[in-house]
Chains A and B, each alone.
Chain A
Amino acid sequence: SQQGEEDPQALSIQEGENATMNCSYKTSINNLQWYRQNSGRGLVHLILIRSNEREKHSGRLRVTLDTSKKSSSLLITASRAADTASYFCATPRISSGSARQLTFGSGTQLTVLP
């Protein structure tokens, strides 16, 4: 069963606008990761946030984590056409003792219009 679930499923914005995607998960975690997948390509790691962190930044990316609500958000500021991709949150598998075994949500398809 899926641990994480993204919302919305699809998002379309104009270039220069901000894009926010949300992820909810079911059980306690020690970290949460976000990945990007361009059409027809493999996944690329964007950012990892640990359970003792509330917010993390990387370039135009801002990730928040609320462990009390079991949710995370990914904010992309000043979006560009090149940001068009699917975005996935990933959490350690529920039944796994290793944080390296990941469970992915179904993703948010982001389209940035020029």
Chain B
Amino acid sequence: NAGVTQTPKFQVLKTGQSMTLQCAQDMNHEYMSWYRQDPGMGLRLIHYSVGAGITDQGEVPNGYNVSRSTTEDFPLRLLSAAPSQTSVYFCASGGGSYEQYFGPGTRLTVT
């Protein structure tokens, strides 16, 4: 199993551009989520999904959209990138237990 995969690994955007961060998992997990990690800080929850067709907001949802059309995929869309969205983004999934499995992260810089 590949676990949780994220693409791209690195991305540089100009202010105002939009893009989609991809996340996929092959563990048939119902629960998936997106976090951002800023320097010297822990992770903050952006959006989450408890199953296909169901999404909800986390702690810092502004400026981001998500959708969950399949169990496997949970893309994160930046609508109009801002320098404040420069961060490392992690996707995670979880099954029957509370344990979360994290992807390797996408390092995003907005200039």
Q: Which A residues are within 8 Å of any B CB, using their own CB?
A: 2, 4, 31, 33, 35, 40-45, 48, 88, 90, 93, 98-107
When the two chains form their complex, are residues A104 and B105 in contact, meaning their CB atoms are under 8 A apart? Answer: no
Question: Per-residue 0/1 for B85-111: is the Cβ within 8 Å of any A Cβ (1 yes, 0 no)?
Answer: 000001010100111111111000000
Q: Which B residues are within 8 Å of any A CB, using their own CB?
A: 4, 31, 33, 35, 40-45, 48, 50, 58-59, 90, 92, 94, 97-105
When the two chains form their complex, are residues B97 and A48 in contact, meaning their CB atoms are under 8 A apart? Answer: yes
> A44 — which chain B residues lie within 8 A by C-beta?
102
Given contacts A100-B50, A100-B94, A106-B40, 7 further A-B contacts (CB under 8 A): A31-B98, A45-B100, A45-B101, A48-B97, A99-B98, A103-B45, A103-B59
Question: Once bound together, how far apart are the Cα atoms of A41 and B107, in whole Å?
Answer: 11
Question: Once bound together, how far apart are the Cα atoms of A102 and B100, in whole Å?
Answer: 9
When the two chains form their complex, are residues A98 and B102 in contact, meaning their CB atoms are under 8 A apart? Answer: no
A sample of 20 cross-chain residue pairs with beta-carbon separation below 8 angstroms, ordered by A number, consists of A2-B42, A35-B100, A35-B102, A40-B105, A41-B105, A42-B103, A43-B90, A43-B100, A45-B100, A48-B97, A88-B43, A100-B98, A101-B58, A102-B43, A102-B45, A103-B42, A103-B59, A104-B42, A105-B42, A106-B41
Q: How far is the CB of B42 from chain A (nearest CB, A)?
A: 3
> A103 — which chain B residues lie within 8 A by C-beta?
42, 45, 59
Question: Once bound together, how far apart are the Cα atoms of A98 and B94, in whole Å?
Answer: 12
When the two chains form their complex, are residues A48 and B41 in contact, meaning their CB atoms are under 8 A apart? Answer: no
